[in-house]
Every structure is written in structure tokens, then in C-alpha cells.
Amino acid sequence: MLDIDPITIGDHVMIGPNASIITVGHPLSPQGRRRHWGQAHEVSIGNDVWIGACAVSCQGLPLAPIWRWPPGAVVTHDVPDNSVVGGVPARLIKEIENDVQD
């Protein structure tokens, strides 16, 4: 985890080895990078999320509840609740049933 902004992790979350959750990024502008500017955005992980090994979260993504994120996936945008995403960049693979009664 690389955090200069908060990372919030919900209940019953599983995170595989070598997964990266990153809140910081750098400007596209070469001048901004030469000045060592950073920009951060909070990452919030919902309940019952499963993040597979070597998966990567880009900054500022709210990770929906009941979510499965397969190994090696690179998530660059928000995805729907109750879903499985995968690939580079990650895309919706299928929706899954929320069978948890809170």
C-alpha cells in the first residue's frame, strides 16, 4: 500500500500477495514531475471485497462491496457493486449475487 491519502478497508476483505493499493500519482506535465509534485486521492474498499494476487488499484477508486478482483487485474475506474472484474485495464466480467444478509 502506498498512501499519502487515506486507505479505508471494509469488513471481511481478502487481499492476495503482492497486490498494490495506491493513493498517489504524479502530474502528466513534465514540469510538474520535475517539481516532484504528487497528487493523492483516497481509496475506499467496501465490505466482502476479494483482491487477487498482484492486482493493482489506481488512485482514488471506491471499490464496491461484494466485489472480486482476479489476480493481475489493473483497475483504472470504478466498477459496479456485486461484480467480478479482470484484465488490463479491468473490465466487467460478470455480476454476482449478494447472498449476505446483514
Query: In the chain, pLDDT over 70 holds for what percent of residues?
Result: 85
Q: Residue 3: which of 37, 40, 47 has the closest Cα?
A: 40
Catalytic: 26? yes
Cα 59 to Cα 11, 43, 78, 81, 94: the distances in Å are 21, 6, 11, 18, 23
CA distance 67 to 96: 8
CATH of segment(s) 7-95:
2.160.10.10
Render pLDDT for 49-88 as a digit per residue (tens, 0 to 9).
888 888 877 765 655 555 566 667 777 777 778 888 888 8
C-alpha cell at 99: 447472498
Q: Which of 26, 36, 41, 77 is catalytic?
A: 26
pLDDT band at 4 (very low <50, low <70, confident <90, very high): confident
Render pLDDT for 11-34 as a digit per residue (tens, 0 to 9).
999 998 888 888 888 777 788 888
